[in-house]
Amino acid sequence: MDIIVRRALPGEYGTLGEITAQAYLGDGLLDFGEGDGYLVHLRDVARRAAAAEVLVAVDRDATVLGGVTYVPSAGNAMAELARPGEAEIRMLAVAPRARGRGAGEALVRACVDRARATEGCVRVVLSTQRTMRAAHRIYERLGFVRTPERDWNPVPELDDILLLTYELTL
């Protein structure tokens, strides 16, 4: 399958938002299912694109297969984990019908390439959930390593949520 990674077009924001929301819901990644407040953020691609770079993977027919938010630096409105000199990858999602075809890896590679091309960027970081094992395999295959000392809880009032962290030194 030919996969092209490029910036998301405004006309694709709705499609990508729904792919992202459905990926998180379908994979059981939201503690409150359809009632989870994070769904609003997953679907709001326009907000992400205003603050960071939203990339899509498309096939040769321009069908959106998945997407990712690339946060170029710490201090960016979309940064949660990045420190100075670090870029961050957020909200990686691939439509179920496109999984296993390389779209996720292509999106992560595109983020790494952008980070390498950014002066002063020395590392790419990301957060992930324990159950996102397919994503973990992509990260590890591309040279990311676990950084348990940076693991964190985005909802401190819920003790059972812990995001795992990875980094890639450039």
> Residue 35: its pLDDT value, please?
82
| pLDDT tens-digit map of 62-120 | 999 999 999 999 999 999 999 999 999 999 999 999 999 999 999 999 999 999 999 99
Q: Give the residue from 10, 114, 115, 4 showing the smallest Cα distance to 61.
A: 4
Instruction: Using the predicted structure, report yes or no on whether residue 155 has a pLDDT greater than 90.
Output: no
Q: What are the beta bridge partners of residue 86?
A: 123
Band of the pLDDT at 157, cuts 50, 70, 90? low
Judge whether residue 128 has pLDDT over 80.
Answer: yes
- pTM for this entry: 0.93
What's residue 87's pLDDT?
98
Q: What are phi and psi of 70, to 5 degrees?
A: -105, 120
The domain tally of the chain equals: 1
The CATH number of whichever domain residue 85 belongs to comes to 3.40.630.30
CA distances from 161 to 64, 155, 158 (A): 30, 7, 6
Q: How many helices (H) and strands (E) does the chain have?
A: 5, 7
Contact of 36 with 58, CB cutoff 8 Å: no
Sequence-ordered alpha helix ranges (H) in 44-130: 45-51, 103-116
Closest among 42, 41, 37 to 22, alpha carbons compared: 42
27-38 pLDDT, tens digit per residue, is 888 877 788 888
Q: Which domain holds residue 134?
A: 4-169
Longest Cα–Cα distance in the chain: 45
Q: Is the pLDDT of residue 159 over 90?
A: no
